[in-house]
A and B are shown apart, each in its own frame.
Chain A
Amino acid sequence: MTRIFAFIAFLIAPLAAQAEVKIQEVTSPGGITAWLVEEPSIPFTALEISFRGGASLDAPGKRGAINLMTGLLEEGAADLDARGFAKAVEALAASFSYDVGDDSLTVSARFLSENRDAAVALLRTSVLEPSFDQDALDRVRDQVLSGLRSDATNPNEIARKTFDAQIYGDHPYGSPREGSLESVAALTRDDMFAAHRAIFAKDRVFVGAAGDITPEALGLLLDTLLGGLPETGAPMPPQITPEFDGGLRVVDFETPQSVAIFGQRGIQQDDPDFFAARILNQVLGAGGFESRLMTEVREKRGLTYGVSSFILPLDLAASYQGQVASANDRIGEAIAVIKDEWAKAADVGISAEELDAAKTYITGAYPLRFDGNGRIAGILVGMQMLGLPIDYIPTRNDKVNAVTLEDVNRVARDLLDPAQLSFVVVGQPEGVETTVSQ
Chain B
Amino acid sequence: MTPVRYVLMCLSLMIPGTALSAKEAVTTFTLDNGMDVVVVEDHRAPVVQHMVWYRAGSADEPAGVSGVAHFLEHLLFKATETLEAGELSATVSANGGRDNAFTSYDYTAYFQRVAADRLELMMQMEADRMRSIRLTESDITTERKVIIEERNQRTENNPRGIFSEQMSAIQYYNRGYGVPIIGWRHEMEELDMEDVLAFYDRFYFPNNAILVVSGDVYPDEVRVLAERYYGTIPGNPDLTARARPQEPPQTAARRITYADPRVAQPYVSRSYLAPERDPGAQETAAALTLLAEILGGGTTSYLTSKLQFESQTAVYAGAFYRGVSLDDTTFGMVVVPGPGVTLEEAETALDDALRQFMVDGVDPEQLDRIKMQLRASQIYARDNVDGIASRYGRALTSGLTVEDVQAWPDILQAVTADEIMAAARDVLRMETSVTGYLTSDAEVSQ
User: Contact residues of A with B, CB < 8 Å?
Assistant: 12, 15-19, 39, 41-44, 46, 74, 82-83, 86-87, 90-91, 93, 95, 110, 112, 138-139, 142-143, 145-147, 149-155, 254-257, 259, 288-290, 295, 298-306, 325-327, 330, 357, 360-368, 370-374
Q: A299-B142, A303-B149 are in contact. Are A17 and B376 (CB under 8 A)?
A: no
Chain A's closest residue to B144 (CB) is A302
Query: What number of residue pairs across chains A and B have CB atoms under 8 A from each other?
Result: 190
Q: A44-B380, A143-B316 are in contact. Are A15 and B95 (CB under 8 A)?
A: yes
11 contacts between A and B (CB under 8 A): A19-B45, A91-B372, A93-B377, A153-B261, A289-B77, A290-B89, A299-B86, A305-B152, A325-B153, A365-B97, A371-B386
For residue A143, which residues in chain B have a CB less than 8 angstroms away from its CB? 315-316
Chain A's closest residue to B158 (CB) is A154
Instruction: Tell me how far the C-beta of A342 lies from the nearest C-beta in chain B, rounded to whole angstroms.
Output: 21
Instruction: Tell me how far the C-beta of A80 lies from the nearest C-beta in chain B, rounded to whole angstroms.
Output: 12
For residue A374, which residues in chain B have a CB less than 8 angstroms away from its CB? 383
Instruction: Tell me how far the C-beta of A430 lies from the nearest C-beta in chain B, rounded to whole angstroms.
Output: 14
For residue A295, which residues in chain B have a CB less than 8 angstroms away from its CB? 86
B9 beta carbon closer than 8 Å to chain A: no
For residue B98, which residues in chain A have a CB less than 8 angstroms away from its CB? 288, 365, 368
Instruction: Check if A254 sits within 8 Å of B262, measured CB to CB.
Output: yes
Q: A44-B380, A288-B89 are in contact. Are A257 and B300 (CB under 8 A)?
A: no
B394 beta carbon closer than 8 Å to chain A: no
CA distance A199 to B261 in the complex (A): 39
Number of chain B residues whose Cβ lies closer than 8 Å to a Cβ of chain A:
65
Q: A325-B149, A357-B94, A361-B94 are in contact. Are A87 and B264 (CB under 8 A)?
A: no
0/1 string, B86-127, CB within 8 A of A gives 1 = 100110011111100000000000000111111000000000
Most B C-beta atoms less than 10 A away, residue of A301, A306, A363, A364: A364
Residue in B141, B336, B383 whose beta carbon sits within 8 Å of that of A373 in the complex: B383
Instruction: Check if A87 sits within 8 Å of B96, measured CB to CB.
Output: no
CA distance A348 to B33 in the complex (A): 52
B143 beta carbon closer than 8 Å to chain A: yes
Chain B residues 330-351 with CB under 8 Å of chain A are 336, 338-339
Residue in B44, B89, B143, B315 whose beta carbon sits within 8 Å of that of A39 in the complex: B44
CA distance A326 to B142 in the complex (A): 14
Known: A301-B145, A326-B149, A361-B96. 11 other contacts (CB 8 A): A17-B115, A41-B44, A74-B299, A82-B299, A142-B339, A152-B264, A256-B156, A295-B86, A299-B86, A360-B96, A371-B47
CA distance A95 to B261 in the complex (A): 38
CA distance A138 to B312 in the complex (A): 10
Residue in B114, B312, B336 whose beta carbon sits within 8 Å of that of A368 in the complex: B114
For residue A16, which residues in chain B have a CB less than 8 angstroms away from its CB? 115, 117
Chain A's closest residue to B308 (CB) is A139
Chain A's closest residue to B368 (CB) is A91
Instruction: Check if B46 sits within 8 Å of A19, measured CB to CB.
Output: yes
Q: A150-B265, A255-B262, A303-B149 are in contact. Are A289 and B299 (CB under 8 A)?
A: no
For residue A303, which residues in chain B have a CB less than 8 angstroms away from its CB? 145, 149
Instruction: Check if B93 sits within 8 Å of A288, measured CB to CB.
Output: yes
Instruction: Check if B93 sits within 8 Å of A357, measured CB to CB.
Output: yes
CA distance A361 to B98 in the complex (A): 9
For residue A306, which residues in chain B have a CB less than 8 angstroms away from its CB? 153
B375 beta carbon closer than 8 Å to chain A: yes
Chain A's closest residue to B337 (CB) is A146
Instruction: Tell me how far the C-beta of B374 lies from the nearest C-beta in chain A, rounded to whole angstroms.
Output: 9
For residue A43, which residues in chain B have a CB less than 8 angstroms away from its CB? 379
For residue A256, which residues in chain B have a CB less than 8 angstroms away from its CB? 152, 156-157
For residue B298, which residues in chain A have a CB less than 8 angstroms away from its CB? 86, 90
Instruction: Check if B315 sits within 8 Å of A289, measured CB to CB.
Output: no
Instruction: Check if B46 sits within 8 Å of A18, measured CB to CB.
Output: yes
B370 beta carbon closer than 8 Å to chain A: yes
Q: What 6 A-B pairs come out closest when comparing CB atoms?
A: A364-B96, A302-B145, A93-B376, A17-B115, A86-B299, A257-B152
Instruction: Check if B369 sits within 8 Å of A91, measured CB to CB.
Output: yes
Instruction: Check if B369 sits within 8 Å of A139, measured CB to CB.
Output: no
Chain B residues 60-88 with CB under 8 Å of chain A are 77, 85-86
Instruction: Check if B97 sits within 8 Å of A298, measured CB to CB.
Output: no
CA distance A52 to B46 in the complex (A): 33
CA distance A329 to B142 in the complex (A): 16
Instruction: Tell me how far the C-beta of A60 lies from the nearest C-beta in chain B, rounded to whole angstroms.
Output: 27
Instruction: Tell me how far the C-beta of A20 lies from the nearest C-beta in chain B, rounded to whole angstroms.
Output: 9
Instruction: Check if B383 sits within 8 Å of A302, measured CB to CB.
Output: no
B373 beta carbon closer than 8 Å to chain A: yes
Instruction: Check if B383 sits within 8 Å of A42, measured CB to CB.
Output: yes
Instruction: Check if A367 sits within 8 Å of B94, measured CB to CB.
Output: no
B384 beta carbon closer than 8 Å to chain A: yes
For residue B264, which residues in chain A have a CB less than 8 angstroms away from its CB? 149-153
Q: A87-B369, A368-B115 are in contact. Are A153 and B263 (CB under 8 A)?
A: yes
Instruction: Check if A90 sits within 8 Å of B370, measured CB to CB.
Output: yes
Chain B's closest residue to A364 (CB) is B96
For residue A259, which residues in chain B have a CB less than 8 angstroms away from its CB? 157
Instruction: Tell me how far the C-beta of A398 lies from the nearest C-beta in chain B, rounded to whole angstroms.
Output: 15
CA distance A90 to B372 in the complex (A): 8
Instruction: Check if A368 sits within 8 Å of B86, measured CB to CB.
Output: no
Q: A150-B265, A256-B157, A371-B45 are in contact. Are A87 and B300 (CB under 8 A)?
A: yes
CA distance A301 to B85 in the complex (A): 14
CA distance A217 to B373 in the complex (A): 24
Instruction: Tell me how far the C-beta of A358 lies from the nearest C-beta in chain B, rounded to whole angstroms.
Output: 9
B223 beta carbon closer than 8 Å to chain A: no
Most A C-beta atoms less than 10 A away, residue of B86, B89, B152, B339: B152
For residue A300, which residues in chain B have a CB less than 8 angstroms away from its CB? 142
For residue A330, which residues in chain B have a CB less than 8 angstroms away from its CB? 149
For residue B94, which residues in chain A have a CB less than 8 angstroms away from its CB? 357, 360-361, 364
Instruction: Tell me how far the C-beta of A152 lies from the nearest C-beta in chain B, rounded to whole angstroms.
Output: 6
For residue B131, which residues in chain A have a CB less than 8 angstroms away from its CB? none
Chain B's closest residue to A363 (CB) is B96
Instruction: Check if A44 sits within 8 Å of B383, measured CB to CB.
Output: yes
Instruction: Check if A149 sits within 8 Å of B265, measured CB to CB.
Output: yes
Instruction: Tell me how far the C-beta of A330 lies from the nearest C-beta in chain B, rounded to whole angstroms.
Output: 8
Chain A's closest residue to B305 (CB) is A83
CA distance A117 to B370 in the complex (A): 21
CA distance A153 to B440 in the complex (A): 11
For residue B380, which residues in chain A have a CB less than 8 angstroms away from its CB? 44, 95, 110
Instruction: Check if A302 sits within 8 Å of B96, measured CB to CB.
Output: no
Chain A's closest residue to B150 (CB) is A305
B146 beta carbon closer than 8 Å to chain A: yes
For residue A372, which residues in chain B have a CB less than 8 angstroms away from its CB? 383-384
Instruction: Check if A153 sits within 8 Å of B316, measured CB to CB.
Output: no
Instruction: Check if B45 sits within 8 Å of A365, measured CB to CB.
Output: no
CA distance A255 to B260 in the complex (A): 10
B322 beta carbon closer than 8 Å to chain A: no
Instruction: Tell me how far the C-beta of B1 lies from the nearest C-beta in chain A, rounded to whole angstroms.
Output: 33
Chain A's closest residue to B154 (CB) is A305
B382 beta carbon closer than 8 Å to chain A: yes
For residue A83, which residues in chain B have a CB less than 8 angstroms away from its CB? 299-300, 305, 309
Instruction: Check if B117 sits within 8 Å of A17, measured CB to CB.
Output: yes
Residue in B95, B299, B377 whose beta carbon sits within 8 Å of that of A364 in the complex: B95
For residue B339, which residues in chain A have a CB less than 8 angstroms away from its CB? 142, 145
For residue A149, which residues in chain B have a CB less than 8 angstroms away from its CB? 264-265
Most A C-beta atoms less than 10 A away, residue of B114, B115, B144, B373: B115
For residue A371, which residues in chain B have a CB less than 8 angstroms away from its CB? 45, 47, 384, 386
Chain A's closest residue to B314 (CB) is A142
For residue A146, which residues in chain B have a CB less than 8 angstroms away from its CB? 265, 315-316, 336
Q: A19-B45, A299-B86 are in contact. Are A360 and B95 (CB under 8 A)?
A: yes
Instruction: Check if B46 sits within 8 Å of A367, measured CB to CB.
Output: yes
Instruction: Check if B146 sits within 8 Å of A304, measured CB to CB.
Output: yes
For residue B77, which residues in chain A have a CB less than 8 angstroms away from its CB? 289
Instruction: Check if A370 sits within 8 Å of B45, measured CB to CB.
Output: yes
For residue A15, which residues in chain B have a CB less than 8 angstroms away from its CB? 95-96, 115, 117-118
